[in-house]
Structure 1
Amino acid sequence: MSVNQFVLEMGRSSFREMQLTAQGQEDLADGEALLAISRFSLTANNVTYAMFGDGMKYWNFFPASSASLGRVPVWGFAEVVASKAEGVAVGTRVYGYLPMANTLKVEPVKANAAGFRDGAAHRQEMAAAYNHYSVVQPHDSETEGRVALLKPLFMTGFLLDDWIADERHWDSAYVISSSASSKTALSMNACLKRRGGVKLIGLTSARSKAFVEATGYYDLVVTYDQLADLPLEASVYVDFAGDPAVTAGVHNRLADLLKQSIIVGGAHWDAERTAAPAALPGPKPQFFFAPAHMARLSAAWGGAEFNRAVDAAFDRFAHESRAWLDVVEAEGFEAAQSAWKRLLDNEVSAKEGLVIVL
């Protein structure tokens, strides 16, 4: 099948530099399939992928045309348009990890009615959770957009909730979240709110305070310029912002009252990174790697039970999100570039969910 193949690439050291690259039209080998990408979301989570592209190997999933360029992963939907892979039929619709491109060649393994894993050699050293493609039934664009926007972020929030609850909040009275308007923070706090047993504080900008309060997930919302108002009680800090100044402010305010400091994301991607975590009072910040916790939890619960629990919790969260998140679609690669730059420039409101349609 002949398909004009294009992919958006960006400078690995300068995220605003983007180019549309034509890909060669190679014939499929036995065991390969071609996906036509139709819809993907763009959120601060994708900026985090770029930020940690080298350290966490996010650049490695979809190798770029040169060493100075990178292909930022996104989550979305695609359809199998050609296949020489056993058990993967043309017309199958899938959801999973994709490049900002209109096509992706995969090497499906362990294919069944639920989906398949990309067995391409270059992807095997990375976390398995990113290599699975789930077979889905077609839905309306609004539903697919909401899934693309929320489900990968909800997974991280669900796993954080389980870990924090399993540790009994480290005997803390509060869980404090930076970038409280981010979809990952909202996911975690929605789960913690439903579970109960701890009070939830959201840290956010003055611009987003009203939005964060309106979600109903937080007991207290504090702006970044009011960190001195944080309650002096035992707390857990979950850093979704990746802003060293905010982290330092929380650590300096709470010191030994801070029982755990968890690094999750980098929504504030362009913040000055001058603070040295080891020099801060309180616990040393530790990075939470969701795929590792997912693997442990899936093994403990069993894969089917884990998936059932996640799907049930996500369905509730997705329904609730209709009160505070609008799915906003735009079409084409130019729209994707514009949306990406708006994310980098912090011009996307918390209520706006960006979805690109190809």
Structure 2
Amino acid sequence: MNETGWAIDIDRDDIARAALVADPTAPLAPGQVRVRVDSYAMTANNITYAVFGKPAGLFGNDQGYWDFFAERDTPGRLPVWGFATVTESAADGIAVGETFYGYYPMASHAVLNVGNAGPGGFTDVTPRRTTLPPIYNQYQRIGALPDYRAADHDYWPVFRPLFLTGWLIADQFEDEGDYGVQQILIASASSKTAIGLGFSLAQRGGHRPETIGLTSAANVDALAAQGIYDRVISYDQIMTLNAATPAALVDMAGNGAVTRVVHSHFGGQLQASIIVGKSHWDAQADVEGLPGPERQGFFAPGRSQKRIADWGGPAFGRKIAEAWLAFMDVAPRLATIDKRHGGEAALAAYREMLSGDADPKAGILVLPA
């Protein structure tokens, strides 16, 4: 399939059904560019994208993640974060050979519609994308990224969007006075978003709540050794926590059983329950009649837009850059990069992540070529 390129098609109604297909090229229209996807990450976050591929209310309209790269009457194309290089350009201001960081389909190539091209990059203005969150439609020139370092290149797709989500959750806690809690319980604490949250909370000066990572018993020692959280305990130890201490739960994976245990144990002392992802896509939600607060979803693009409005775009960018560079100083000891090459390996990586068998200490990086 290398001659024509490849893509992975996913059944919109059954995300376990995925197939590697040929993806032939077509002539570009004016304003379009064709890019070769150089590398992208496959993480639990991408499974959340698949779960919410169909309209789910996240975007405040009748669109979902399938609408970024697939028309309604076609199979889903999963969005991924990565780097791509322009191989053909019919757009002013975008040259062949330029490399951009951004949102791409799980494929070897992609065609993007260029708008607002400038020194920093461009915005995709495909009609169906213009009503989707702007943060997903921005493509940044690698040379214009203020916090890009060549040594960190492979960590950008693996950690950047997940770290940003964790950092934004930490910012929301600080903005909300930590909801008045003394401890923050972080479920699926070995996930990369959770690690970004734990790291960001630890960077805060002054008083802050204790961070408690919740993970499987087999992961406790290794996760504790990373020093990201104040404490790490197994799921079966939740009941040993002091139920009289005000707490908040951040659920990274949509694990209904863990949510029920935490809500039942803390009851009225649970001040906030935030769900971030749904990588446990096949688990029962089990949220009917939960004691304690109503669960609230966290949507990183919405939080980003709020902070851009609060601080201005340049200040928002500077804050992220400072936090990211600090995190990159420790990221290599938190995860190894596991490179997979080609379409068959890409499909296998998707199925591995879907099964829940992926090693949380590795960052899967797919190199499509």
The more displaced of 209-218 and 39-48 is 209-218
Q: 1:59 aligns with which of 44, 48, 66?
A: 66
Q: How many aligned residue pairs are there? A: 354
Of 316-325 and 75-84, more deviation after overlay is shown by 316-325
In structure 2, which of residues 311, 317, 340 is the aligned counterpart of residue 301 of structure 1?
A: 311
What stretches of structure 1 move > 6 A for 4+ residues in a row? 138-142
State the SS of the aligned residue for 1:307: helix
Q: Partner residue of 1:200?
A: 211
SS of the aligned residue for 2:53 comes to: coil
Q: Kindly provide the amino acid, as one letter, of the partner of residue 210 in structure 2.
A: K
Question: For 1:1-358, what aligned pairs fall within 5 Å after superposition?
Answer: 4-54=4-54, 55=56, 56=58, 57-63=64-70, 66-67=73-74, 69-137=75-143, 143-196=152-205, 197-232=208-243, 233-276=245-288, 279-358=289-368
- Across the aligned residues of Structure 1 and Structure 2, the Cα RMSD in angstroms comes to 1.9
In 2: Cα distance, 1:229 partner to 1:134 partner: 47
* Alpha-carbon offset, residue 224 of structure 1: 1.4
Q: Distance in 2 between matches of 1:81 and 1:43?
A: 27
Moved more, 43-52 or 336-345: 336-345
After superposing the two structures, state which structure 1 stretch, 92-101 or 210-219, moved more: 210-219
SS of the residue 2:9 aligns to: strand
Task: Tell me how far apart the structure 2 counterparts of residues 3 and 30 of structure 1 sit (CA, whole Å).
Answer: 24
SS of the aligned residue for 1:4 comes to coil
User: Matches of 1:15 and 1:207 in 2, distance apart?
Assistant: 28
How big is the shift at 1:64? 5.7
CA distance in 2, matches of 1:140, 1:165: 29
Could you list the per-position Cα deviations for residues 67-119 of structure 1 after superposition, in whole angstroms to 9, with x for gaps in the alignment? Answer: 4x311111000001111111111111001011111111111111111111101
Partners of 2:152 and 2:328 within 8 A in 1:
no
Using the alignment, how far apart are the partners of 2:330 and 2:31 within structure 1? 41
Structure 1, 203-212 or 3-12: larger mean CA deviation: 3-12
Q: Structure 1 residues 226 and 172 mapped into 2: Cα distance closer, same or farther (>3 Å)?
A: same
Distance, in Å, in 1 between the alignment partners of 2:280 and 2:17 is 19
Distance in 2 between residues matched to 1:31 and 1:349, nearest whole Å: 41
Shift of 1:273: 2.5
| Residue identity matched to 1:214 | A
Say if 1:211 and 1:350, in contact at 8 Å, map to a contact too.
Answer: no
What CA distance in whole angstroms lies between the structure 2 residues aligned with 1:331 and 1:204? 30
Aligned-partner residue type, residue 206 of structure 1: A
AA in 1 matched with 2:99 = R
Give how far 1:221 is off: 1.4
SS in 1 for 2:153: helix
| 1:99-146 deviation per Cα after TM superposition (whole angstroms, max 9, x unaligned) | 111111111111111111101001112101000011004999873221
Aligned counterparts of 1:269 and 1:208: Cα–Cα separation in 2: 21
Question: Does the 8 Å contact 2:81/2:157 carry over to 1?
Answer: yes
Conserved 8 A contact 2:20-2:347: no
Contact kept, 8 Å, 2:335 with 2:362, in 1: the verdict is: yes
Q: Which runs of 5+ in 1 are unaligned?
A: none
Q: Distance in 1 between matches of 2:95 and 2:80?
A: 23
Partner amino acid, structure 1, of 2:280: H
Whole-angstrom distance in 1 between the partners of 2:138 and 2:347: 26
TM-score by length of 2: 0.92
Q: Secondary structure at the match of 1:339?
A: helix
Residues 259-278 of structure 1 show CA distances to partners (whole Å, capped at 9, x for unaligned) of: 111110113222123332xx
